[in-house]
Amino acid sequence: MRLAFRALGGAAGVAWRESFPLGGRDVARWFPGHMAKGLKKMQSSLKLVDCIIEVHDARIPLSGRNPLFQETLGLKPHVLVLNKMDLADLKEQQKIIQHLEGEGLKNVVFTNCLQDENVKQIIPTVTGLVGSSCRYHRGEVCEWPLMFLLDTPGVLAPRIESVEMGLKLALCGTVLDHLVGEETLADYLLYTLNRHQLFGYVRHYGLGGACDDIASVLKQVAVTLGKTQKVKVLTGTGDVNVIQPNYPAAARDFLQTFRRGLLGPVMLDRDVLQRSPVAEP
């Protein structure tokens, strides 16, 4: 493939890919079977609690939430905790809140649990909804007001609405990488970063410029990191050992670097926000 790097300084004016090829991908198999058991257990536990605290990734505040929680809105007090706010681009935070309010969610808390940022807002929010007496005694989390927590496993919705939603979930580590394909996922990440004009990957890996071709980017990443492998190639004169870039290893590093926040904050639901009407003041 032709190496198509462009100077970072002029990258903002470049027309990047407007769409990502989504055909031929079976999202049904991305839902791990053990999660179905966890989902049934969660459903049976709902009647035992006074308030539901739903924890979701702040980078995808509008995508991939489990419909089980949405069905309980109006039946149980509900707090949506959008964690990993340090990894999310929250310039449109108010628009996110307005969108969620339109879905019936009035109590939203953005947190960064690693730094305890805003975490202390959760208990006062719950107390304001249910009072200081909680019925189900399982794991005390607060002495005053006395409060107990029933923890449940993290589960996906049984039906992922679209391939693109599945890719967003996978980028956030909710779907196992190998189910999607690490290089496919790395390509979707590159597509997203370029469309959002987020070129931190160029600086992080010391590339010559931004690029929209995943093979070229992974080749440069592999060379930069020394992730190469010997491959035997059969020629007319016998086997020859050739050094080639380790594309899967480069893709894994690209994904892990993104998840650690080293490529900068990202809002993966920016497309959903752009389609969302702004509520009248």
Annotated binding site for GTP: 83-86, 154
d(CA 167, CA 255): 12
Sequence ranges of the binding site:
83-86, 154
- The two most distant CA atoms of the chain are separated, in Å, by 81
d(CA 190, CA 171): 11
> How many other β-carbons are positioned within 10 Å of the β-carbon of residue 96?
22
**Looking at the DSSP assignment, which residues form a beta bridge with residue 56?**
82
Give which of 191, 253, 198 is closest to 227, Cα–Cα.
253
DSSP code for 50 = S
Pairing of strands 52-57, 78-83: parallel
Handedness of CA 220, 193, 167, 3 (dihedral sign): negative
Question: Using DSSP, how many helices (H) and how many strands (E) does the chain show?
Answer: 11, 7
Token digits of residue 49: 């609690």
d(CA 197, CA 31): 31
